[in-house]
Chains A and B, each alone.
Chain A
Amino acid sequence: MARFEFYGAKGLPDVNLDELKGKLIVIEGTDGVGRSTHIGLLKRWLENNGHAVLDTGMTRSALAGEGLKAAKEGHTLGWITMTLFYATDFADRLENEMIPALRAGFIVLTDRYIFSLMARALVRGADPEWIRQVYEFALKPDVIIYLRVKIEDLITRVIQNVGFNYWESGMDLHLGEDMYESFVEYQSRLLREFDNMAGQYNFQVIETSPSIEEVFEQVKRSVEPLLQLPHLRSRVGT
């Protein structure tokens, strides 16, 4: 039996799930939560243990990447259009990066997956049933690690690191007087959506803390069960 399933009954046409031998690991979380730090650490750790890793997520797709970038700069597209544009971009990356790597037996480590995209659409008023159906073509990951942060901690981190930007502050939603108020309200709403999804999609929730080492220990623990090779495990047992 195939290891992988799609979220929907049908999923992507032309993909034979039996061929997918690799593992799909997702790191999710809002902006500024330290996802890329942990992806970097996890990648190195996995490679040291002999696994081939493809990390993806930071770059946009070959198909829609440029268009999306321009769309974000122009602010001219409506949110339903943006939602589907992101879905197109994700589908292109899934079909052209992740699936070929899974076929080749890689561990695919992705910085964000459909959940960030769904959360963004939901806070803009998307119908929950609709957005769930849009992403039915996505593969169910082996594990979804959700780096959870309290809104207070998030604010300090963002101010320290990068400052507020238009999209991360949800400025298109006109939620507050200024970027700070808008950021707080927008990110709080996003966190609420992530919390709602955590149970529904079986997230491994990890509370972030100032200690990167502590958090990474938990990240490793979430991933370890996937890495046991059956024949080695029995040998370890004896």
Chain B
Amino acid sequence: MTPIMKMYGKHRFPGKLFIVEGIDGSGKSTQIALLQKWLESEGYVTFFSEWNSSPLVRGVTRRGKKKRMLTPTTFSLIHATDFADRTEHHIMPPLKSGALVLADRYIYTAFARDVARGVDARWVRSLYQFAVKPTLGFYFRISLDEAMKRILGGRDALKYYEAGMDLRLSDDIEESFRLFQSRIIDEYEKMVAEFALIVIDASLSIEEQQAQMRQIVSEALTGAKKIRIRKWLDLSSMVQRDSRM
């Protein structure tokens, strides 16, 4: 018999899923990378889920963007397709194996971005019902001005869809980006309560933010799988044993 699909919140996996959300320039990628370093040093099996979906789906997305063929609806659907591939290949298998899966951006990115683009909020949420509910979701809250200071200059030219140019908010790409990002922030703020996202004040120092994250994550780690051989400790004890022989 064909298995019936499991929906958001209904998956039962031995692994755990930690995700970070926030606009560009919020520092979330730095924080999740530091979190992974720590979890590994503690001996946990971690898996970083990147947006490395199949070249096939990615190719379609890239072409659609390059040729500006995407409407708000197809933009939403092709990204959901891409995310489904990521879920089926890079999120569920490691979770089944008991790993700690870390993701930089998750379904809430799509909810914020697609609704800011005019897609129905209820519809886009229903599209992603196949997604695994994260064990913990962190939202890095930052003001638009602060985020803009961090990214502009540090990066090359803004991209068409990223700046929401398809919405014709402004002919000026930087102005369009600013308007679009402020809509995205509004959507994130609405989702904090809806999805019980943990808010981290992204204006704090990197160290302070990381300390908060580690504190919260450590409370969610009961039962998580560790690698039996701890790299450096076990190596040193093996060396000692060898020298005794």
Contact = CB atoms under 8 A, between A and B. Distances in A.
Interface string B148-168: 000000000000000000000
A238 to B, nearest CB: 47
B77 A88 contact: yes
A130 B7 contact: yes
A161 interface: no
Contacts of B118: 13-14
Contacts of A92: 69, 74
B84 A127 contact: no
B88 A80 contact: yes
A10 to B, nearest CB: 4
Contact of A62 (B56, B69, B85, B120): B69
Contacts of B87: 80
A63 B74 contact: yes
A91 interface: yes
* SS class, residues of chain B in contact with chain A: helix
A159 interface: no
Contacts of B63: 63
A126 B5 contact: yes
A180 interface: no
B129 A130 contact: yes
A190 to B, nearest CB: 12
Contact of A81 (B74, B84, B129): B84
A35 interface: no
A134 B59 contact: no
A92 B81 CA distance: 14
A171 B3 CA distance: 16
A63 B66 CA distance: 11
Q: Which of A9, A74, A83, A92 has the most CB of B within 10 A?
A: A92
A63 B130 contact: no
B59 A67 contact: yes
Given A63-B64, A123-B2, A91 B69 contact: no
Given A63-B74, A67-B59, A8 B123 contact: yes
Nearest to B122: A10
Interface residues of A, number: 39
B127 interface: yes
A125 B77 CA distance: 20
Contacts of A10: 120, 122-123
A63 B57 CA distance: 11
A133 interface: yes
B74, B126, B130 — most chain A CB neighbours (10 Å): B74
A80 B71 contact: no
B56 A95 contact: no
Closest 9 CB pairs of A and B: A78-B88, A10-B120, A133-B126, A67-B60, A84-B81, A88-B77, A125-B2, A81-B84, A13-B118
Interface of B: 2-5, 7, 54, 56-57, 59-60, 63-64, 69-74, 77-78, 80-81, 84-85, 87-89, 117-120, 122-123, 126-127, 129-130
26 contacts: A8-B120, A10-B120, A13-B73, A62-B69, A63-B63, A67-B56, A67-B60, A70-B56, A71-B56, A77-B54, A78-B85, A78-B89, A80-B87, A80-B88, A80-B130, A81-B85, A83-B84, A84-B81, A87-B77, A88-B74, A91-B73, A92-B74, A125-B5, A130-B5, A133-B123, A133-B129
